Structure 1
Amino acid sequence: MSGSVLIADDHPLFRQALRLAVERIIPGARMIEAGTLATAAAAAASAQDLRLILLDLKMPGAVGYSGIALLHAECPKVPILVVSSAGTEAAAEARAFGAVGFLHKGCDLGTIEQAIARALNHDAPLEQPPADQPMDQVRKTVAGFTPMQLKVLLAVLDGQLNKQIAHRLDISEATVKVHMTAIMRKLDVRTRTQAALVARSLGIDSQG
């Protein structure tokens, strides 16, 4: 069964290049294209046979590594391969938030095809970052957030109050408070301000 592949990138020409690479590795795969993070998240949540997500960090709606965290939360069992123009220093961060691998957009098509094949097998990168650092543990915690918890946290980073968050996400203020309580408990902080500071320290709200 070929299944489907989500290609999340706001550049149509690069999406075409990724389609070509996928078609060579998974003949007959159904392609799902998304030009914004919101579209990608909706597609990931609704796809029943998703086998792989190809994700650009720099796309509308994404800040820092929030795209990886959100798509990983929507589809925790689906490998995410980041293909981005961000520097190689972003590779370790990308993996920490749930990506199985990272490629620079300057790679040739053959390299991208090899990376796709490895990602489909959930193969780990050749070089693994150390996993025993305190910040790595916090990244793993954020990577384990539910999609709604991540959306609430991103809204807090935007400076929105509970009432505004409730309206934006179409949930009640009480539900927002429940999610904030869960977020603060998981991050081991006491206030929403502290939660926002932790998120910023991880690069979630920085332009990636």
Structure 2
Amino acid sequence: MSETVLIADDHPLYRQALALAVERVLPEAKVVEAGTLGAAARAAGEAEGLRLILLDLNMPGAVGYSGIALLHAEKPDVPILVVSSAEASAVAEEVRAFGAIGFLRKDSNLDAIEEAISRALQGRRQAAPPAMRQEEAIRETVAGLTPTQLKVLLAVLDGQLNKQVAHSLGMSEATVKAHMTAIMRKLDVRTRTQAALVARSLGLDLRH
């Protein structure tokens, strides 16, 4: 089976730079590119022999760390290397908590990019702080939601009612309610509002 690497970034030039790095580290791999989170999720689901996902945090369709959580839910065994212009000290710990194997700044040189890709392909996680606090445990719980549960949660964060969520996701209101019940049980909350607050505290809703 051929090996595939997914590059999810909305900037074509940066996708080309990442593709060059991938080619130098994994010459035989097929590179698949996606410019939106939705396209990335579809590509991840369809790709054969997917070895690595290179993911930009701030791409169309992504809210906070939802891109990591969604792609991790789609392909839990595939390492995700986050590439972002954000400060590493601010997000590196968070991206790991949501399922990413590491973090790479977009202004890194080609050698650093290749090294990060090599480490990710070997399954070597960047060093994380030794203490696992309650917030990190909750992040792991969010990272463990199914793709559909994440889509329902994101729709709720967007202010949609059950009827609207059902319409946008092509399911019945009863199914939406069942998913929300499962989400609230996993997050250990009792209302939609509490679930939204938990998610917002984890960076899943950064819009103003």
Q: Same fold (TM over 0.5)?
A: yes
Q: Is the 8 A contact 1:2 1:26 kept in 2?
A: no
Q: What is the CA-CA distance between 1:77 and the residue it aligns to? A: 0.2
In structure 1, the gaps of 5 or more residues are: none
Structure-2 residue corresponding to 1:90: 91
Matches of 2:155 and 2:129 in 1, distance apart? 30
Matches of 1:5 and 1:22 in 2, distance apart? 8
| Correspondence 1:95-134 to 2 at 5 A | 95-125=96-126, 127-134=127-134
Q: What is the CA-CA distance between 1:34 and the residue it aligns to? A: 0.3
In structure 2, give the amino acid aligned to 1:177.
Answer: K
| Correspondence 1:55-74 to 2 at 5 A | 55-74=55-74
Q: What is the CA-CA distance between 1:132 and the residue it aligns to? A: 2.2
Q: What is the CA-CA distance between 1:129 and the residue it aligns to? A: 2.5
SS of corresponding position for 1:55: strand
In structure 2, give the amino acid aligned to 1:77.
Answer: D
Q: Percent identity?
A: 71
In structure 1, give the amino acid aligned to 2:161.
Answer: L
Matches of 2:162 and 2:115 in 1, distance apart? 45
Matches of 2:171 and 2:130 in 1, distance apart? 39
SS of corresponding position for 2:160: coil
Q: Is the 8 A contact 2:184 2:195 kept in 1?
A: yes
Matches of 2:70 and 2:129 in 1, distance apart? 21
Matches of 1:130 and 1:197 in 2, distance apart? 26
Indicate the RMSD between aligned Cα atoms, in angstroms.
1.0
Matches of 1:205 and 1:173 in 2, distance apart? 23
Q: What is the CA-CA distance between 1:131 and the residue it aligns to? A: 4.3
Matches of 1:35 and 1:130 in 2, distance apart? 35
Structure-2 residue corresponding to 1:13: 13
Q: What is the CA-CA distance between 1:86 and the residue it aligns to? A: 1.0
In structure 1, give the amino acid aligned to 2:153.
Answer: L
Q: What is the CA-CA distance between 1:158 and the residue it aligns to? A: 0.2
| Deviation string, structure 1 residues 124-168 (Cα, Å, up to 9, x no partner) | 11x312442000000000010000000000000000001100111
SS of corresponding position for 1:139: helix
SS of corresponding position for 2:171: coil
Matches of 2:5 and 2:168 in 1, distance apart? 29
Q: Is the 8 A contact 1:131 1:137 kept in 2?
A: no
Displaced runs of 4 or more, over 6 A: none
Matches of 2:131 and 2:17 in 1, distance apart? 33
TM-score (norm 2): 0.97
Given the alignment of the two structures, is residue 170 of structure 1 paired with residue 132 of structure 2, yes or no?
no
Query: How many residues in Structure 1 have an aligned counterpart in Structure 2?
Result: 206
SS of corresponding position for 1:52: strand
Q: Is the 8 A contact 2:55 2:81 kept in 1?
A: yes
SS of corresponding position for 2:83: strand
